[in-house]
Amino acid sequence: MTLPLDYETLRLIWWALIGVLLIGFALTDGFDLGAMALLPFVAKNDLERRMVINTVSATWEGNQVWFILGGGAIFAAWPYVYAVSFSGFYLAMFLVLAALILRPVGFKYRSKRPDPAWRARWDWALFTGGLVPALVFGVAVGNVLLGAPFRLDGDLRASYEGSLLGLFTPFSLLTGVLSVAMLVTHGAGWLAMKLEPGPVQHRARQIGAGAAVATLVLFAAGGAYVAWGGLGFRMADVVDTGGPSNPHLARAIAAPGAWLDNYGAHPWLMAAPLLGLFGPLVALAGLRIRRDALAFAGSTLAAAGIIATVGLSMFPFILPSAIDPASSLTVWNASSSHLTLFIMLVVVLIFLPIVLAYTTWAYRVMFGRVGAEEVRLNPDMY
């Protein structure tokens, strides 16, 4: 059977689509996580906390689906990556899922009782459900850049030789804090745009401005560490980009500084890190001059640029191995079959425009500022 697209092209398309899904998750569920991480700091009483919670009440469930969609796409398009990462990072994934489970329970149960202690406990659950995933996702990215401690035997069975505490290295903690700062900036931009003028909106702008500066500084520091700290992997053998998926067919090696190779070969790729530096500046300016839509646009650009920088720096690697570089998983050796990728692409081309159109319509219908009076009187509010 001859397919309209060759294997190499389909692999590239799916690598790009996975990147789009990850950016989509950061841009949508990211402001939910950031807003909840800000909850104890911008809201000082029950009414203010309800205002913050209700800025995301209409959209958080749909936004969370991006996370599920991303995991499902990795499972279908890159099964080796899914098998190694979701089993090797099992405890970290469990920590993220446990935190994410707190969010829907907190949203639904918080206002069931008027007891202040009851509500305070659920407020901390919502805070944990926002902060922990943002931190762990960033730590995971740091570990991917460093290389994960796994190896594949001759039968392609993976063995993971790391631990949960081993994931928290100085560099991965830097990327974890960067992730928190990035999403807090995004959440602050969302709160500034969704809340009616008042003290909560003012606090969100102030904290968001500080988070935007932290995002800029941490991203620059992370880039300097990658450039001068000697991180990177490189293929040692000629790769058959249209060949079968088998990590043993071409060896990879650890190569200090190799994460900068793609920028030297294709200078236009520098647009991604420049966007990651420019976005926080736009967000900071928007928050300072009270142009809330500009602030949210800046945090959006920052998240997209930072995530794209990671993917473009690592290409063609998806999950390198720190202890056995020859076991590293790449775009070329870890994908599903040619036919599988083609069928998935057809499905995406049919349904993704429908999903995006519905999402756009839903945001437009449910958009509007949240105020104290509305929260106090509307029985449908959390």
Residue 100 near residue 125 (C-beta atoms within 8 A): no
Does residue 47 belong to any structural domain of this protein? yes
Does residue 10 belong to any structural domain of this protein? no
Residue 252 near residue 234 (C-beta atoms within 8 A): yes
The total domain count for the chain is 1
- With the C-alpha atoms ordered 77, 80, 81, 85, is the resulting torsion angle positive or negative? positive
Written as one letter, the residue type at 71 is: G
Structure-token match 């996975």, residue found: 18
The rounded average pLDDT for each run of 10 residues, N- to C-terminus, in the chain (382 residues) is 84 94 90 94 92 88 82 88 85 87 87 88 93 94 92 85 82 96 96 93 96 97 89 88 85 89 94 96 96 95 96 94 91 92 93 87 85 78 76
Kindly report the pTM of this predicted structure.
Answer: 0.93
What does the H/E/C string look like for the chain? CCCCCCHHHHHHHHHHHHHHHHHHHHHHHHHHHHHHHHHHHHCCCHHHHHHHHHHCCCCHHHHHHHHHHHHHHHHHHCHHHHHHHHHHCHHHHHHHHHHHHHHHHHHHHHHHCCCHHHHHHHHHHHHHHHHHHHHHHHHHHHHHHHCECEEECCCCCEEECCCCHHHCCHHHHHHHHHHHHHHHHHHHHHHHHHECCCHHHHHHHHHHHHHHHHHHHHHHHHHHHHHHCCCCEEECCCCCCCCCCCCCCCCEEECCCHHHHHHHHCHHHHHHHHHHHHHHHHHHHHHHCCCHHHHHHHHHHHHHHHHHHHHHHHCCEEECECCCHHHCEECCCCCCCHHHHHHHHHHHHHHHHHHHHHHHHHHHHHCCCECHHHHHHCCCCC
Distances (CA, A) of 90 to 84, 125, 132, 153, 332: 10, 22, 15, 20, 25
Does residue 166 belong to any structural domain of this protein? yes
Does residue 216 belong to any structural domain of this protein? yes
Residue 186 near residue 30 (C-beta atoms within 8 A): yes
233-235 and 158-160 strand pairing: unpaired
Q: Locate 357 and state its tokens.
A: 């159109």
CA 146 distance to own-chain centroid: 18
Range of the domain at 212: 17-377
Does residue 12 belong to any structural domain of this protein? no
